[in-house]
Amino acid sequence: MPPIDPVALTADLVRCPSVTPDEGGALVLLEKVLSAGGFTCTRVDRGDVSNLYARWGRRGANRTFGFNGHTDVVPLGDEAAWTMPPFGAEIKDGYLYGRGSTDMKSGVAAFAAAAIDFVAETPPDGAIVLAITGDEEGDAVDGTTALLDWMRDNNEAMTVCLVGEPTNPSVMGEAMKIGRRGSMTAWFTITGKQGHAAYPDQARNPMPAMARLMDVLSSRALDEGTDHFDPSSLQVLTIDTGNPATNVIPAQTKACVNIRFNDAHDSTALTTWMQEEADKVAEDFGVQIDMRLRVSGESFVTPPGDLSDLVGKAVEAETGRKPILSTTGGTSDARFVKDHCPVVEFGLVGKTMHQVDERVSVEQIGQLKSIYRRILTDYFAAD
């Protein structure tokens, strides 16, 4: 079959309105393209989420190169603010416009195109896997985790994995990611006793307690950074009381904080610390403090070595830039893959992801396919 055009495939995927968790036809399209390229495809749907597992080569091969990505996209935002059709995949001035064009349908298209061409021209001694989810931008409960669960139950495995999220701040080749910070969110509800502002002795104001707790939590320096990470950070996101009166002490106030933490911590230790501080404040002020948590992911790092060297050399060969090893940014599905096999991330420039008029350089899509193709070539050529 002729070489797969990654730009055309990106455009076809962008035309699929796959706002999370709607499949939108994107995985149906990928299954058709990959099946025609010799990949065995299996839908691994769970709950309301659609996922696709595609493998070329035999199960249990001596080595299997895996790729993880997603076809779901974030909502459009203010559709009237778009100057190009958000699902039109129109090309203007060298850019392909559309929701998901950068994050990350172009990455999926580039890897699928590279993999199909590679196995057709130089069938490797090993296997290639694409694990594509429709639930990365949403709750991420039934997406990549469902794929990994299915792989475990069916004796499928990746030796190493590349996640194709955008990793470059400004130009191709700047950075690859070898880890991610952990992320957790805590909601605090402090309950006192409502009363008249002129008679504070007959009330129990929760506001000073909340001010104290937020100050204690946000003032602490969690660490000074580690070998691969910047310092951890706790940010107060909101304090809400909803009290329109000027003469009423409120009964309750709420607040939310988010922590982005490095590999000096885990969510269990941070939870214990916040609970201890909340208990102290509750005792000091005579109020009740309830804490609710959500952990989006733990901090992790893939130590620099064979995998990061493989990707870094391919990037440098194709772009002339040696990518720095980064751990910045939010969370990605690499936080799930790291429990299965070594994982790194490399993708396009992410300047416009999630924005109105999201767009991707047409030239960079072709460049990314070349990088992925070289990675596959070098991986299977190694002894």
List the catalytic residues.
Answer: 72, 136
For residue 161, what are the β-bridge partners? 66, 343
What DSSP line would sit under 206-252, residue for residue? HHHHHHHHHHHHHHS---S--SS-PPPEEEEEEEE-----SSEE-SE
Distance CA 368, CA 319 (A): 10
Question: What's the chain's length in residues?
Answer: 383
From CA 112, how far away is CA 325, in angstroms rounded? 25
Cβ atoms of 89 and 98 closer than 8 Å:
yes
Identify the helix (H) or strand (E) that includes residue 306: helix 306-319
3-state secondary structure of 5: coil
User: Do residues 209 and 289 touch, judged by C-beta distance below 8 A?
Assistant: yes
| Cα angle 352-68-17, degrees, rounded to a multiple of 5 | 50
Q: Provide the token pair at 338.
A: 């790291």
Going by C-beta distance under 8 Å and a sequence separation of 6 or more, which residues neighbour residue 197?
246, 247, 248, 249
> What pairing do the DSSP bridges indicate for beta strands 160-163 and 127-133?
unpaired
d(CA 178, CA 180): 7
- Return d(Cα 140, Cα 126) in angstroms, integer: 30
Per the listing, tokens 């060298």 go with: 94
Cα-based distances in Å from 73 to 105, 186, 258: 9, 26, 23
Sign of CA dihedral 95, 101, 102, 104: negative
- What are the φ/ψ torsions at residue 180 (nearest 5 degrees)? -145, 150
Strand-pair category, 343-345 with 95-97:
unpaired
The residues facing 176 across adjacent strands are 325
